[in-house]
Chains A and B, each alone.
Chain A
Amino acid sequence: MTPAATERGLEESALSHRVTIIRPTTGWSALRVHELWSFREILYFLIWRDLKVRYRQTLIGAAWVLLQPLALLAVIVVVFGFFVDIPSEGVPYPVFVYTALIPWTLFAQSMTSASQSLIANSALISKIYFPRLLLPIGTAGSFLVDFVIGMALLAAMMAIYGTQPDAAALLLPLFTVLALVTALGVGTLMSAINVRHRDVQAIMPLLLQLWLFASPVAYPITLIPEQFRTLYGLNPMATVISGFRWGLLGTPPPPVGMAAASVTMCTLLAVIGISIFRRTERTFADVI
């Protein structure tokens, strides 16, 4: 074989590594993690774009990251702290609530924006191919940055009130993942439905309000009768929030039964959400 022929042969074998077969698919399809990975550059650009655009042409820019939960905090502190005087497990009430609002804000914003992500990017869906799952994942990912900024303010607040974090703070990433995966489970499901039925846009704010009161943001889980706590764990945010308080404020850890229920529910939501998303994904460009 001449060197040129060898080179040509190598070139051909290099080419044949990237064979793509396009054919109709039906039914349930696998997640194909390696494909998601191979499109990670697009994920990077989607997150980068969301971060760049979010607070552009606003007067106070990124300060909104802090102001949004702080405004909610003020309302809750005034209503539940002063008027109702809810117990807060021996922690100053504002810190107690803000510790919950940090993961809650991440959860609420990720879920809402994930459910809108396909519609908001319909131009991309009808013109460019990439795994559509990157859209809800990317938009949820961009709120992780807001989350980190919120954590910094929380640290300052804890210093002012003199509360000490616990060794359990090392588990915070796990609780964060629990919140994010739950948000994505519901978010992917809602985004897929949203492509066909825009009713989702009316449902989401309602769902979030209910979910906020169903989560221990303004109150401690000790307010729930002990025999119902495992059942209460079916709301994964219950475990997430009590986990955050455990790690940062040293309150009692979430009961094991409740945590198990939360993890089960979270997994179930993610499996349902992603499966339905993948099943309907192939028609997105046709119906959006």
Chain B
Amino acid sequence: MSEVVISAEGLAKRYKIGNRRSRRAATDTSQHEFWALQDLSFEVRDGEVLGIVGRNGAGKTTLLKILARITEPTKGSVRLTGRVGALLEVGTGFHPELTGRENVFLNGGILGMSRSEIRGKFDEIVAFSEIERFIDTPVKRYSSGMYVRLAFAVAAHFEPEILVIDEVLAVGDIAFQKKCLGKMHEVATQGRTVLFVSHNTGAVVELCTRAILLEGGRKVAEGPVDQVIDTYSQLLGSNAGASAVFEADPNLAASLLEVSVRSTADAERTGIDIADGLEIAVCYRISDRLPGLAVALTLARNSVPLLHAWSSESIPDDEVAEPGTYVANYALPGMFLKGGFYTVGVIIGTPETLYQDFREVVAFEIDELRTNSHSRSYRRDRPGHIISPGSWRTEQVGSGLDAKVPSK
């Protein structure tokens, strides 16, 4: 077993909230306090890559700031063995008036690299950033893409014994992202001790061996990365199995009772992973014989309708629905919807009459729990609402630069 290089005991951090005047007047101070971290203990061994996951506000950033010595804990202590380098953002200290070259030195120096160290790695950094031509241009004239490339390039060549990183790797265009992730992989497998904090659990799974789950400032799970991610997905459960229940309308011949969305993956896990199949069930009741009755779903993201599906598509046109209660199931495959929030709208009717129309009645979230979407075209913040169903095939059609486009 290798040596323990980070050992945290009973860490806690309290923030005071509200303005000072009200705090002075208050008799009950607990109302103006907020514990961002409570009683957190953990150990990291030399060469381990530890992931820290949790929802927003779970205390991840506070923990990083304590480890990076930016802020002090209110209670507890951490014992660190070796030089700690923290990357809480890329390009810390970049000055817009300075050139790319000057900023490489400035940023590197501020991160804790010596001048000779930066000089030794300078060519490598510039080559990694792919902006050789602009290295002597002030960075204020850079596009934001060029800026983050250069910033990440410096960060990627920062090699402390213990590296503490926030989600800084998601920068630039797809090709550059791949490169960043590759570099992260390299760091993680080089035997360096890394603490990696991310919302993108897929990236954590890919890079880390062990993980800690924080919730409300406390450690709620610790262990092999797969187990911790499972616990995390259960924690996210509240927004996973979504449903809406309606009162049946006695005046209508057909009315909706319930709409529910759930993952087809095993029932233990409640979060919906991007790779899980989806089942949307519509329960309705009819009190008359209704020819051509059907329900239809509208799936939307950010109020942009993605698809509209009629249950009548799989029913013969002349079929007559008998009175009773029905459940119509609509199945969607996994790896179809991108990570994000979606809404479902439902209508029920016949070709002649529209009985009910409920728009955006159920909302659910697809999470990238096991799949790292950072370097993929279906990352949340990229254009497009669904994962591309097409496939690419690229082949060389000529050897010289003067090759003609082959005619069909």
Q: Interface of A with B (CB < 8 Å)?
A: 12, 15-16, 18-25, 41-42, 44-45, 48-49, 52-53, 56-57, 123-130, 282, 285-286
Contacts and interface: CB of A to CB of B under 8 A. Distances in A.
B121 interface: no
Nearest to A50: B95
Tier of interface size on chain B: 35 or more
B89 A45 contact: no
Contact of B69 (A22, A24, A44): A22
A9 B189 CA distance: 23
B10 to A, nearest CB: 10
Contacts of B71: 282, 285-286
Contact of A53 (B15, B73, B97): B97
Interface of B: 3, 5, 15, 65-84, 86, 88-89, 92-93, 95, 97-98, 102, 105-106, 109-112, 114-115, 161
B97 A128 contact: no
B7 to A, nearest CB: 10
B70 A126 contact: yes
Instruction: Name the 8 nearest CB pairs between A and B, nearest first.
Output: A45-B109, A23-B77, A129-B69, A22-B78, A20-B80, A127-B92, A127-B88, A285-B71
B180 to A, nearest CB: 19
B62 to A, nearest CB: 10
B72 A282 contact: yes
B79 A123 contact: no
B77 A21 contact: yes
Contacts of A23: 72-73, 76-78
26 contacts: A16-B81, A20-B69, A20-B80, A20-B81, A22-B69, A22-B79, A22-B80, A23-B73, A41-B115, A42-B109, A42-B112, A45-B106, A45-B110, A48-B105, A49-B93, A52-B102, A53-B98, A56-B98, A57-B97, A124-B92, A125-B70, A127-B70, A128-B92, A129-B86, A282-B72, A285-B70
Contacts of A52: 97-98, 102
B106 A19 contact: no
B161 to A, nearest CB: 7
Given A45-B109, A52-B102, A128-B93, A19 B80 contact: yes
Given A124-B110, A129-B70, A12 B3 contact: yes
B117 to A, nearest CB: 9
A52 B139 CA distance: 14
A123 B92 CA distance: 7
A56 B95 CA distance: 12
A42 B105 CA distance: 11
Contacts of B65: 285
Contacts of A16: 81
Nearest to B11: A22
B163 to A, nearest CB: 14
B155 to A, nearest CB: 12
B97 A56 contact: yes
A207 to B, nearest CB: 24
B140 to A, nearest CB: 9
Contacts of A22: 66-67, 69, 72-73, 77-80
Contacts of B66: 22
A45 B103 CA distance: 10
Contacts of A130: 110
Given A15-B3, A16-B81, A22-B69, A123 B74 contact: no
Nearest to A126: B70
B109 A15 contact: no
Contacts of A48: 105-106
Contacts of B83: 18
A46 to B, nearest CB: 8
A27 B146 CA distance: 45
Contacts of A12: 3
A229 to B, nearest CB: 44
B57 to A, nearest CB: 16
Contacts of B109: 41-42, 44-45
Nearest to B69: A129
A142 to B, nearest CB: 14
B399 to A, nearest CB: 48
A24 B75 CA distance: 6
A57 to B, nearest CB: 6
Contacts of B68: 128-129
Contacts of B79: 19-22
Residue in B15, B77, B82 with the greatest tally of chain A CB atoms within 10 Å: B82
Contacts of B80: 19-22
Residue in B68, B102, B110 with the greatest tally of chain A CB atoms within 10 Å: B110
Contacts of B89: 127
Nearest to A287: B16
A49 B84 contact: no
Contacts of A127: 70, 86, 88-89, 92
Nearest to A125: B70
Given A45-B110, A57-B97, A286-B71, A19 B77 contact: no
